[in-house]
Amino acid sequence: MLTVDQCALTLKALADHTRLRILESLLVEEKCVTDLVRHLHCPQPHISHHLRILRDAGLVEGIREGQQVCYRIAPRVQHVLANRQGRALNFGCCELRFPDPVFSHVKRRTHLLT
């Protein structure tokens, strides 16, 4: 169970669209900063800033691989992935669910056709 301060830090880290997109991307697989820049179409300093906030909140961790740093969901959050098939994270104070990418794609396409 998170303390009130830990919960506030977690919620603050989640309160940004780019950080949510980073987390969703890392749910699929570990990614280096350059991969996230390409995948999210954001400048490298922007991605690095958001990764620092997520890292400070204990949501992601960085692993140095040569000259690059690759990121993954932090171990304290990973245990939740096995129970949710990698589409939701339970932080102790809240649960964050990401839509199934297959169905969200179909939903978007259906919406475009109507």
Tell me what percent of the residues of the chain surpass a pLDDT of 90.
Answer: 46
Name the more confident of 69 and 7. 69
Q: What pLDDT shows up at residue 100?
A: 65
Structure confidence at residue 9 as a pLDDT band (50, 70, 90): confident
> Tens of pLDDT along 56-95?
999 999 999 899 999 999 987 765 554 555 567 767 667 7
Query: What secondary structure letter does DSSP report for 85?
Result: T
Q: Is the pLDDT of residue 37 over 90?
A: yes
112, pLDDT greater than 50: no
* All residues at 6 or more sequence positions from 23 whose CB lies less than 8 Å from its CB, including other chains: 14, 54, 59, 60, 73, 89, 96
Q: Taking residues 7-14, what's their average pLDDT? A: 88
d(CA 75, CA 93): 17
DSSP 1-39: ---HHHHHHHHHHHSSHHHHHHHHHHHH--EEHHHHHHH
Mean pLDDT across the stretch 45-61?
Answer: 96
CATH code, 91: 1.10.10.10
Residue 60 φ/ψ region, left for φ over 0, alpha for ψ in the -120 to 50 degree band, beta for the rest: beta
Provide the mean pLDDT of the chain. 80
Instruction: Provide the domain count of the chain.
Output: 1
**In which domain, by residue range, is 107 found?**
4-113
Q: How confident is the model at residue 110 (pLDDT cuts 50, 70, 90)?
A: very low
